[in-house]
Structure 1
Amino acid sequence: MDEQIRLMRERGERLREAAQSIGITHAAKAAGVPYTTLRDYMNGGEMKFSAISSLARVCGVSLDWLAFGNGTGPGADSPDGTASTTRQIVIPWHDNHEDGLRIGRDWLQSAIPRDLAALCLMTSEGDAMEPTLASGDLVIVDRSVTTVTASALYALESSGTLMIR
């Protein structure tokens, strides 16, 4: 039993290192894991596979490293000699009121195969888009899309007010 507790604590420390590399709050939001749950994981609590795989993706580390310590973690040089921080991107807020969301570049590029420089963050407000979006949900907007087509969500500005429809 002591060995299992030690392994869980080590996993929690690797998770803390990975989450700190992009910001703990940002890691929790991007992975869809409640902050308190992430904190419990970092303190050596038992982790759900779905959560640890999402956290590995958004933090830009391998699942093998995060779960078992195999390979290199955040901050290590990649095989081409560049620092691993190039594997992360910061998505700015549409109004630049905060720093933005730091997220794993590889995961983001696979989830949103677009020009990453055109992305920004917004927060959904109101209940007009429920149940798809609840008030307060974080939304990534692609500013390069300027034409409306069927079956998509859009961020629109009308009379100085931003809306998601």
Structure 2
Amino acid sequence: MYNIKFSEVTERLKEVLNTKSEDDLARSLEITAQAFLSFKKQNEIPSELLVRFCLLNQVSIDWLIKGEQEKTSDYVSIPIYNAKIFSEEKAKEPEHAAGFMAFKNDWLMSEFGANKAKLYLFHVKDDSMEPTLKNGDVVIVDKKNNVLDRDGLYLLRTEGAAAFIKRVQRLPGGSLHLLCDNATYKPIEAKTAQIENGDIVIVGRVVWSGKRL
């Protein structure tokens, strides 16, 4: 991604954070103090760092980079990831997103509260969960809910395979059913031990697909 002049954004970052400390700025960008000093010396900063900051702090990217528009935004951009990216464990970085979708900040706050910074969008690419989820649907995944504490729809991944959505049903004795809502697909039998040892990773719970789930 293209780079933004370091000197043009740091003053606005200080305004948002109400600080003059470069250590605070480095922490807000989730980089080391050494990396911050390196960007300062080069007088440029990678734009993906600013995108991530704006997503997490509800700051307008146009305002941060150019000083244009309002500082805060009525909308929050949530990154969209595909199954392959999730399988490669890159989905925690916005620069690996396939795109972004804007949601009203007020709606996200009412539906998900302070968890909205922990939300992903996932693009459904098969018919295994029809009629609940159709091929081409975009769903919201709450990555904070990555513990199997209830039955429901979860985004899962296994080593070497693309991420997938299944309806997880807990059974006595530590067994699990990974179910497809489409009856033409057979259920998968699994064990909670496979989650505990990392063979199956819970990326997060599917919480919205045009309606609350």
Give the TM-score range, shorter chain: 0.3 to 0.5
Normalized per residue, which structure has more strand? 2
Using structure 1 for the length normalisation, give the TM-score.
0.45
Normalized per residue, which structure has more helix? 1
Using structure 2 for the length normalisation, give the TM-score.
0.35
